[in-house]
């Protein structure tokens, strides 16, 4: 197994402590595209922060390729919902930021970034600033920045949540194309059942807070997927049923 969580729990202290996650366990195999769905407040983003090492679990283990990574940063590529592009830096300067922070050879990072710009729909925009980009282009630049960190596990926390419906649909199709070509391992957080069914090899379902894993649903549908197919509609109904429990 590539990513393994065993009985991971997290409570936020305060005047009224809030238990966000309770004994969450699952595995993700290398190269899989796995989505995580749950109601608002079910602990999806908390789980991402734990895997990224930004938070430390109160109990349980998070292992990446067998190595314990509880509370350790730098092992995964993490893309939150907001693109967080720096407005004073060009696209090229933004996407090589990870290499710059890691003090990797910048010329090599620039060459790799320029080679990937066409795949990310950013050809001709290396010297553009974020204000000159559409919402979809900004998200593609943010994902390229994440991929250039050269981590084989990507955590994508509702990356298309702020986009309009048409742009979101285009981005979903584009993400599948990039995933097919680069083959990273992906944990994709979404509240959209249709999006999860469209993209995923497997779908993990969290209960209401405290988040517990209540379903692990394999998706056997071939890609590209037709949303009007009976099997696709049954899958969505199954997921909605799981969320309602």
Report helix, strand or coil for 36. Answer: strand
- pLDDT-derived band at 28, boundaries 50, 70, 90: very high
Distance, in Å, from the CA atom of 156 to the CA atom of 68, rounded to the nearest integer, reads 21
How is the chain split into domains, by residue range?
3-76+151-243, 85-150
Tell me the pLDDT tens digit for each residue of 150-190.
888 999 999 888 788 888 888 898 999 889 988 899 999 99
- Strand 202-206 to strand 67-68: parallel, antiparallel, or no bridges (unpaired)? unpaired
User: Do the beta carbons of residue 8 and residue 61 sit within 8 Å?
Assistant: yes
**Which of 190-194, 201-205, 241-245 comes out lowest in average pLDDT?**
241-245
User: Does position 245 have pLDDT exceeding 80, yes or no?
Assistant: no
pLDDT tens-digit map of 166-177: 888 888 989 998
24-61 burial, b if ≥16 CB within 10 A, otherwise e?
Answer: bebebeeebbbbbbbbeebbbbbbbbbbbbebebeebe
As its CATH architecture, domain 3-76+151-243 has: 3-Layer(aba) Sandwich (3.40)
- Residue with the larger pLDDT of the pair 242 and 98: 242
Listed residue (70, 67, 69) closest to 58, CA to CA? 70
């Amino acid at each position: 197994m590539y990513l393994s969580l065993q009985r991971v729990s997290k409570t936020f202290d305060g005047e009224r402590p809030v238990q966000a996650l309770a004994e969450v366990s699952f595995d993700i195999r290398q190269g899989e595209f796995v989505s995580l769905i749950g109601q608002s407040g079910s602990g999806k983003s908390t789980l991402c922060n734990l895997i990224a090492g930004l938070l430390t679990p109160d109990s349980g283990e998070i292992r990446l390729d067998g190595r314990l990574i509880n509370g350790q940063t730098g092992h995964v590529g993490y893309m939150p919902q907001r693109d967080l592009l720096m407005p004073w830096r060009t696209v090229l300067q933004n996407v090589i930021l990870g290499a710059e922070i890691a003090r990797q050879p910048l010329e090599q990072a620039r060459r790799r970034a320029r080679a990937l710009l066409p795949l990310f729909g950013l050809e001709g925009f290396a010297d553009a600033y974020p204000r000159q980009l559409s919402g979809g282009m900004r998200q593609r630049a943010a994902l390229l920045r994440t991929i250039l960190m050269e981590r084989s596990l990507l955590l994508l926390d509702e990356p298309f949540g702020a986009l309009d419906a048409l742009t979101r649909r285009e981005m979903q199709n584009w993400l599948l194309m990039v995933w097919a070509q680069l083959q990273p391992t992906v944990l994709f957080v979404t509240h959209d059942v249709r999006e999860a069914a469209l993209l995923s090899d497997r779908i993990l379902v969290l209960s209401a807070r405290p988040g517990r894993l209540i379903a692990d649903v394999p998706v056997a549908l071939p890609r590209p997927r037709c949303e009007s197919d009976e099997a696709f509609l049954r899958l969505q109904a199954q997921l909605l049923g799981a969320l309602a429990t």
